[in-house]
Amino acid sequence: MRLPCSAPAVLSLSLLLLGCAPCKKVHASHDAFLRDTAPLTQPRNLNSIPDLSGPHLSLSIPYEVLDAVVARELKKVPTAKVPLPQVSGVSLGTLTLAVDSVRARPAPKGQLGFRVIVGLRQGKKTVLQVNVDARVQPHLDPQAGELVVALSGKDVVALEPSLDANGRKQLGEWIWSQLPPAARMVVDKGAVSKIAGDVAAQLMRQAAETLRRELLDDLGELVRYELDLPEALPLSAISLQAGERHLDLDLQTLLKVAVPLPAPPATGDHPRQAGLHPNLIQVRIAGDTMAALANHAIREGRIPERWTLAGEPDPQGPVYVGVGWAEGAPDPIEILLWTWADECAHVILRGEPHLKVNGKTLELGTPRARVEKVVGSFKVRAGLFFDKTARKGLPLIEQTAAATEIEIAGGAMAVEVAEAMVVGDEVILGLRLAQARGR
């Protein structure tokens, strides 16, 4: 509870003003801080704001990570039969269509591409492989923190089969091997090679149609990626770009971030941090976003707002805390402290950010903070009371990793922080997938 500034009637007006002024400044500073860090109430569209310089945070997911998990599920995909045309009056019967592999690929902004390699088999022998390139439209729900990418009939916007020259040659040789000796006497091998071109074109169309009808439509979903972000992250917009090697997601929040990440490239992959393992999911968070996330957590009660003068959290403590980020400074993280109990003071502590991974919890603090600015009490200016507070560190992303799941092909995968670093005014995390517990 804030105490009004008062003075005995015998004090002069000047002494009264000297005593009240610091408290008024401290109260005004804290009120302004709460006002300036309050989340927005209306979502923003990342693609409709021309002056938006960049996202608040971004994810870069290597295709290899997605492909490896999907590959383990392909053996569960059913097969289908594809009838073959007659050649010189000889029936070639049917081939069995099976999905050999599915790999994520580049696509126009807002879409994700897949290359589905379809094998056409006679028994266990692969006669031909057809490449079917698909593009799908993901479902993005920022308010629910969900991204769903499914290779299903209803989400496919393009399905294009292709076959290289070697595949056509391979098909011609197979057709020739299927003809009885009598047929070979009236049809030369060159003519069969020409016929094989027409058969190949027909098989490509049939493979794509069978894939859509019997696997994508009937089965429902051949591939599904579902990313559930933690509820503590108040998203307002998600933008998706399928680059050459990574699925890149740019995220906008409802939080007020003065300095976001640099604007991403219009095409191609987002930049990756040098030294980060290529198979890790990269998360880039602007420093100002980190501060905004911390203040949002304080506002929601996930981080204590009030502390004692000894630096211990206490719901009745006289010290109120906030977090800031000084862009471009060598010691950018700011711990903001206010008190108006026995003495009024507003203290800004600055230091180099320090990341600590503790299991699935990530903490960001500044173990060597120094007093940058003080308004009010000289005792506070000397840093006598807040030394321990500055050095405790605040769990700014507490349980974020544990609360995040990626569902691939029906199996839930949790993410774990494998690497964490601060580079300039960005926090870089490297996440790996692990089997979700209790599944």
Residues 336-365: tens digit of each pLDDT: 989 887 788 888 888 888 887 776 667 777
Are residue 227 and residue 214 in the same domain, yes or no? no
How many domains, the chain? 2
Task: Show the CA angle centred on residue 369, arms to residues 364 and 375, nearest 5°.
Answer: 115
Res 388: pLDDT: 52
Is residue 48 assigned to a domain?
A: yes
Compute and round to an integer the Cα radius of gyration of the chain: 31
Q: Does residue 196 or residue 311 have the better pLDDT?
A: 196
Among 183, 205, 221, the domain-final residue is: 221
Are residue 257 and residue 307 in the same domain, yes or no? yes
Cβ-proximal residues to 113 (8 Å cutoff; 6+ apart), any chain: 104, 105, 106, 107, 133, 134, 135, 136, 242
CA dihedral for 195, 201, 205, 208, sign (positive or negative): positive
Q: Is 248 exposed, middle or buried (0-12, 13-18, 19+ CB in 10 A)?
A: buried
Amino acid at 407: E
Is residue 6 assigned to a domain?
A: no
Identify the domain containing residue 147 by its residue range.
Answer: 78-221
Structure-block tokens of residue 20: 């009240």
Res 226: pLDDT: 81
Amino acid at 398: E
Q: What is the chain's mean pLDDT, rounded?
A: 80
Are residue 244 and residue 217 in the same domain, yes or no? no
* Contact assessment for residue 274 and residue 143, using Cβ atoms and an 8 Å cutoff: no
Helix crossing, 165-178 with 189-210: angle to 10°?
110
Are residue 83 and residue 57 in the same domain, yes or no? no
Task: From residue 229, give the alpha-carbon distance in Å to each of 140, 204, 242, 267, 406.
Answer: 12, 39, 19, 25, 9
Distance CA 40, CA 58 (A): 20
* Contact assessment for residue 55 and residue 46, using Cβ atoms and an 8 Å cutoff: yes
Distance CA 294, CA 253 (A): 13
Distance CA 215, CA 237 (A): 32
Is residue 314 assigned to a domain?
A: yes
Are residue 228 and residue 182 in the same domain, yes or no? no
Among 185, 202, 221, the domain-final residue is: 221
Is the per-residue pLDDT at 212 higher than 60? Answer: yes
- Interval 368-402: pLDDT, tens: 777 788 787 655 554 444 555 444 544 443 334 33
Is residue 260 assigned to a domain?
A: yes
Distance CA 334, CA 326 (A): 7
CA dihedral for 137, 119, 162, 69, sign (positive or negative): positive
Distance CA 304, CA 418 (A): 27
